[in-house]
């Protein structure tokens, strides 16, 4: 008997054993295997569905985030622009106020200078009048020769100098 020879009795018993094994397995093991495979397939499908939902939710959240970032940038830009406008307005107002105050101060200074000029003119006029009166009264009180004229003029000039020094 060789290993490769076919025996009809052995073949029959092999086929019967196979069929019995197939029937036993189909009644006991096969439903469990099919059920486990079906359960596994169901879990895989559920996992895929949940993954799709999660991805869709992540996409929605990413879009919302992008929208919020864009909105925040837009609002920040508006705030910056508004701040620039306010700063420019304040700058213009400050410059305008400064120019107004400057011109007011300049006008006041001009008025004060003119008043001081007029006051100085009046004081000089008063001094000239006093000197003239003084000189005239001296002339009237005596007749002068050329030497007296020189002395009188020098004396008047000295009085003017003293009067001016007292004013300063």
Alpha carbons 143 and 129: distance in angstroms, whole number: 21
Alpha carbons 92 and 101: distance in angstroms, whole number: 14
Q: What confidence category does residue 12 fall into, taking pLDDT thresholds of 50, 70 and 90?
A: very high
pLDDT at 141 over 70: no
Instruction: Give how far Cα 142 sits from Cα of 131, 132, 135, 136, 154, Å.
Output: 17, 15, 11, 10, 17
Alpha carbons 165 and 96: distance in angstroms, whole number: 44
Per DSSP, the three-state class of 4 is coil
Alpha carbons 116 and 120: distance in angstroms, whole number: 6
Q: What confidence category does residue 143 fall into, taking pLDDT thresholds of 50, 70 and 90?
A: low
Question: What is the value of pTM for the model shown?
Answer: 0.41
Instruction: Give how far Cα 164 sits from Cα of 54, 117, 123, 144, 155, Å.
Output: 101, 15, 10, 27, 14
| Max CA distance (Å), the chain | 190
The pLDDT of residue 17: 95
The pLDDT of residue 140: 63
Q: What is the pLDDT of residues 41-52, one digit of tens each?
A: 999 999 999 999
Q: What confidence category does residue 7 fall into, taking pLDDT thresholds of 50, 70 and 90?
A: confident
Check: CB of residue 119 under 8 Å from CB of residue 98.
no
pLDDT (mean) for 125-130 = 76
Mean confidence (pLDDT) of the chain? 86
Alpha carbons 157 and 72: distance in angstroms, whole number: 85
Q: What is the pLDDT of residues 52-80, one digit of tens each?
A: 999 999 999 999 999 999 999 999 999 99
DSSP designation for 1? -
Q: Which of 9-23, 31-45, 56-70, 116-130 has the lowest mean pLDDT?
A: 116-130
Alpha carbons 33 and 106: distance in angstroms, whole number: 107
Of 124, 129, 114, 130, the closest CA to residue 164 belongs to 124
């Amino acid at each position: 008997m060789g290993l490769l020879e076919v025996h009809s009795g052995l073949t029959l018993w092999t086929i019967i054993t196979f069929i019995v094994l197939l029937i036993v397995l189909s009644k006991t093991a096969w439903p469990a295997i099919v059920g486990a495979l079906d359960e596994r397939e169901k879990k895989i499908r559920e996992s895929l569905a949940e993954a799709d939902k999660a991805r869709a939710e992540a996409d929605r959240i990413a879009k919302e985030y992008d929208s919020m970032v864009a909105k925040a940038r837009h609002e920040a830009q508006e705030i910056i622009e508004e701040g620039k406008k306010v700063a420019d307005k304040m700058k213009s107002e400050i410059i305008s106020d400064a120019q107004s105050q400057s011109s007011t101060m300049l006008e006041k200074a001009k008025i004060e200078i003119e008043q001081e000029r007029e006051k100085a003119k009046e004081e000089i006029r008063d001094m000239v009048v006093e000197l003239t009166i003084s000189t005239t009264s001296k002339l009237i009180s005596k007749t002068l020769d050329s030497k007296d004229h020189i002395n009188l003029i020098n004396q008047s000039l000295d009085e003017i100098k003293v009067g001016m020094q007292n004013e300063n």
